[in-house]
Amino acid sequence: MNEKTYSDWYNYSISDSDDFWLEKAKEFISWSEEPTIGQEGSMSERNYSWFSDGKLNVSYNCIDRHVNNGRGNHNAIIWEGNDENSLTITYDELLINVSKFSNLLKAQGIKKGEKVCIYMPMIPEAIYAMLACARIGAVHTVVFGGFSSEALVSRILDSECVAIITADVIKRGNKTIPLKKKVDEAIEKCPTVSTIITVSTYTEFSQTTKYDIDYNTAVILMSDICEPLPMNSEDPLFILYTSGSTGKPKGVLHTTGGYILYASITHKYIFDYHTNEVYWCTADIGWITGHSYVVYGPLANGATTLVFEGVPTFPTPARYWEIVDKHEVNIIYSTPTTIRSLMAQGDEYVQSTSRKSLRILGSVGEPINPEAWRWYSKVIGRNTCPIMDTWWQTETGGIAISPLPCSSNLKPGFATQPFFGITPVIINEEGEELFGETEGILVLKGSWPGQLRSLYNDKERFAETYLNKYPGYYLTGDGVKRDSDGALAITGRIDDTLNISGRLLGTAEIESALILHKDVSEAAAVATSHPVKGWSISSFVTLNNGTEEKPRLKEELVDIVSREIGSYAKPDKIYCVESLPKTRSGKIMRRIIREISNGNISGFGDTSTLSNPEAVGQIIRKLGLES
């Protein structure tokens, strides 16, 4: 696709949205009953749907149709284990495994519309489980395997799950996490659950509850034929929980037809996927990125998707790049946190590998600072691979803002342009639209097929969170700036915006400046109350491996921020810390840092996604706030 084609298609997708998406629905999806209706309802009405008269099955679209088209012997999944062993699964083999898993679920009495919790490591059976649920019409809710038993309980109770699919343990580097043990702790508080299916990966199966079923033994007895159940386009496909800054996690509900179309079309065009290429998204299936770009998008397109069980630094920080060479990966899609952490290890681990197969690089999860973008391009991509700096959310279902490989305006730190059907608008706090080169709040106008339909069992919170504040718009919760070329850069969450002496600053802008220092690996900037300014900037930085804090480091960092942004943006306080509090998907939890910097050492809201609580204690001690 060239830039003119993008421009023509984008204009078509906005001016005649229904026709555009109905055409793409016919092109990308196999329907048992092809839809004739595009969008119905609107965000203003707080009720919208897509392809409501269509019927399809997502599992069929991800497997059967490729087998029926003669591509059964094509590789569907390449699994790379934690211990460097690997396994290749063809579409023929995927169909057999998913059909058997589907029949196992049916044998337990699980029916269309019932909820199934998947609490699994990154093993092939986790993908079989997702596709098996979709095949029989069950609604899955995947819970990241790193979550605690209490976090598991809250999600099971909210979504009213009748079954849990799990494994004995998770292997991540040198760590072994007892997954089934956490399920056993949770089940005592989950009265709706009557079935626990356990995949034994590293240990022998042991029955510890009356609900237990040994997957390895039971699945052998199942038939390898299971006809996919036709689903209405608006039938629920999955619920995925995403944390807010306060209150319980939000159960984002995605439906069948619109979601699978949007996941597949964004995967195809944004990564320019070609038949027989090896595509690798490094995300865990416990996050939306894993749903859309490890499982559903790639498999709907008949791709070969690489699934990685381990961590990027085990057994050495060369692991990612060794995997790229081992499996001749053409496209890699990872996070700024991972990129920065590997950048901090030095270039020698990268230079020990070839990476000559790489054609396209991707970034997801949060804004990637320009310094990491340049390193990713130069060191990893050898200055030959375009970077798809993508912005989207659990709620959008798929990528909403991103360049395409054909783009001539790739810019460090900029997600650049909207995808088809997406109308980004920049507004101020009063809801007035801002034009030209500007900065403000990012909202999206109109609906698109991949958009969440609601929050499970909480339509009031859905409307209040996304639709009510600025009627007619979807509120993303993110800030954005637009440059003189019209390119868009995400500046961070609205609640992370800093108002310093009457000037609005995005955290990403300050953090990007701090990371320019050769010794700094990561940075977080937050607002701290100030008796004169109202608010001042406090910054927290981690240093590259093996680097000690130098006497003039803080002065040098202040100088960099002053030079890159202006003296008004320089931090009043800078703290060097061992690590920053992060979610289990690698995002910095700035709201916790902000609370601590303002003297609050408890009451941080929902912390179920916090992966390293020791970092919170370190910052509290650094600021001398121990109780």
In a domain, 131, yes or no: yes
- The verdict on residue 479 lying in a domain is no
- Count CB-CB contacts under 10 A for residue 276: 11
Domain shared by 367 and 413, yes or no: yes
CA distance 387 to 400: 16
Residue 627 in any domain: the answer is no
Single out the residue in 407, 438, 459 at which a domain terminates.
459
Same structural domain, 505 and 369: no
Which one of 459, 482, 515 terminates a domain? 459
Pull the structure tokens for residue 66: 């490729």
Whether residues 328 and 382 share a domain: the answer is: yes
pLDDT digits (tens, 9 = 90+) for 9-59: 999 999 999 999 999 999 999 999 999 999 999 888 888 999 999 999 999
CB-based contacts of 531: which residues, under 8 Å, 6+ apart?
none
* Residue length of the chain: 627
Considering the domain architecture, whether residues 423 and 548 belong to the same structural domain is answered as no
pLDDT of residue 627: 57
Query: How many C-beta atoms lie closer than 10 Å to residue 619's C-beta?
Result: 22
Interatomic CA distance for residues 590 and 597, integer angstroms: 10
pLDDT at res. 295: 98
Residues 534, 417 share a domain: no
438 shares a domain with 529: no
Q: How many structural domains is the chain composed of?
A: 2
Q: What is the pLDDT at residue 586?
A: 80
The answer on 517 and 435 residing in a single domain is: no
Distance CA 563, CA 513 (A): 9
Examine the domain organization and report whether 443 and 534 are in the same domain: no
Structure tokens at 545: 């491996």
Give the CATH number for residue 536. Answer: 3.30.300.30
For residue 499, the cross-strand partners are 504
Q: Which domain holds residue 201?
A: 3-459
Asked, for residue 482, whether it belongs to a domain, the answer is: no
Residue 483 covered by a domain: no
Give the span between the Cα atoms of 571 and 565, in whole angstroms: 11
* Domain's final residue, options 410, 438, 459: 459
Strand ranges (E), 168-217: 170-172, 175-177, 195-199, 212-214
Burial class (CB in 10 A: 0-12, 13-18, 19+), 287: buried
Say what the pLDDT of residue 245 is: 47
Residues 282 and 354 grouped into a single domain = yes
Note whether residue 481 is domain-resident.
no
ω into 317 cis (within 30 of 0): no
Q: Report yes or no on 133 lying in a domain.
A: yes
Q: Which residues pair with 363 in a beta bridge?
A: 334, 389
CATH of the domain at 388: 3.40.50.12780
Amino acid 512: pLDDT: 86
Contacts 24+ apart (CB under 8 A), 313-317: 313/173, 313/341, 313/342, 313/345, 314/82, 314/172, 314/173, 314/174, 315/84, 316/349, 317/342, 317/345, 317/349
41 and 156 in a common domain? yes
pLDDT of residue 409: 80
Report phi then psi at 246, rounded to 5: -140, 165
Dihedral through CA 257, CA 263, CA 265, CA 271, nearest 10?
Answer: -170
Please state the separation of Cα 491 from the chain's center in Å: 18
Is 112 among the domain residues?
yes
List of the chain residues with pLDDT < 50: 245-246, 502
Regarding whether 417 and 322 lie in a shared domain, the answer is yes
End-to-end Cα separation, the chain, in angstroms: 59
345 shares a domain with 278: yes
**What is the DSSP annotation of 575-606?**
EE-S---BBTTS-B-HHHHHHHHTT--S--S-
Q: What is the pLDDT of residues 77-102, one digit of tens each?
A: 999 999 999 999 999 999 999 999 99
Please list, in sequence order, all residues whose beta carbon lies within 8 angstroms of the beta carbon of residue 157, skipping any fewer than 6 positions away: 189, 190, 192
